Amino acid sequence: MNDPRLRARYGLKYNPFDPEIPTEDLWTAPGFDLFAGRVEALTRSGGFGMLTGAVGTGKSKAFQALAGRLAAISDLVVGVMERPQSSPSDFYRELGRVFAVDLTPANRYGGFRALRDRWESHLQTHLRHPVLLVDEAQEMPTACLSELRLLGSTRFDSRYLLTVVLAGDPRLPERFRTRELQPLGSRIRTRLVLQPLEKAQLRELLEHLLDRAGNPGLVTEPLKDVLIKHSAGNPRVLCNLCADLLSAAVEQDLPRLDDELFLKLFGRAGAA
């Protein structure tokens, strides 16, 4: 990310096409601000939110931006589940680590009570529900998703103790149509579905990345048109193409990225 050649040759603070972009410099998709505002409201009432989209449409970056926005709220505990595919025993182990609760996985009922007591105590002290973020939630076992639903509510499901935001590809909402997970699917209170971007939105994304990295003129206007055309509405494809071009430009000591470099790198078959 901090290749000194990028700073010396192009005046870049970092590689704008690298996945490791500072949270404050992320571009967010249409609808994100409304969704993030609703999730912030959920931290006062609790419940479930869901972020979905096809591969490469920006779910992980939107989730990163959401995590940064929530982290800026004082006295709000935000935990991230790193291994959603865990078995129920490992699921409890990770929840204990995330929320600093000493659990014995063999005593699942004890873990159930200890987590709920911790969330209840935090809610009474800070008036905000702890937040759990689960990326790649389509990989989560049905038993763990059901356990999460039961863990996070009390008083006959009339009071939430936890705010949970699930993110995943289109398989995730499909799972909530099954009989086992319909009870959880019906409790999702806010949703954002990321769609392929329009050409104008892809251009906005590209120019945003270049501007935040420190060199708005790094990519020529004709090349922007070529890249947007070849990205098929997918931000990941756009960034991968740009990353390859930037790497080639560094090796060849070129002053900028242009359509001639695109032809050299990908050939006329790729350009077509």
Mean pLDDT of the 55-69 span: 93
Confidence of residue 156 (pLDDT cuts 50, 70, 90): confident
> For all residues of the chain together, what is the average pLDDT?
91
Cβ pair 160, 42 in contact under 8 A:
no
Considering the segment(s) 4-20+197-271 as one domain, its CATH architecture is Orthogonal Bundle (1.10)
With b meaning 16 or more CB within 10 Å and e meaning fewer, what string describes 143-178? ebbebbbebbbeeeeeebbbbbbbbbbeebbebbee
48 membership: H or E segment, kind and range: strand 47-53
The pLDDT > 70 percentage for the chain reads 97
Q: Is 195 helix (H, G, I), strand (E, B) or coil?
A: coil
Instruction: Report how far residue 236's alpha carbon sits from residue 115's, in angstroms, rounded to the nearest whole number.
Output: 37
CATH topology of domain 32-194: Rossmann fold (3.40.50)
pLDDT of residue 272: 45
Mean pLDDT of the 132-154 span: 94
What is the reported pTM? Answer: 0.89
Is residue 107's pLDDT more than 90?
no
Give the domain ranges of the chain: 4-20+197-271, 32-194
pLDDT of residue 205: 97
Cβ pair 104, 96 in contact under 8 A:
no
pLDDT tens, residue by residue, 20-60: 899 999 999 989 999 999 999 999 999 999 999 999 999 99
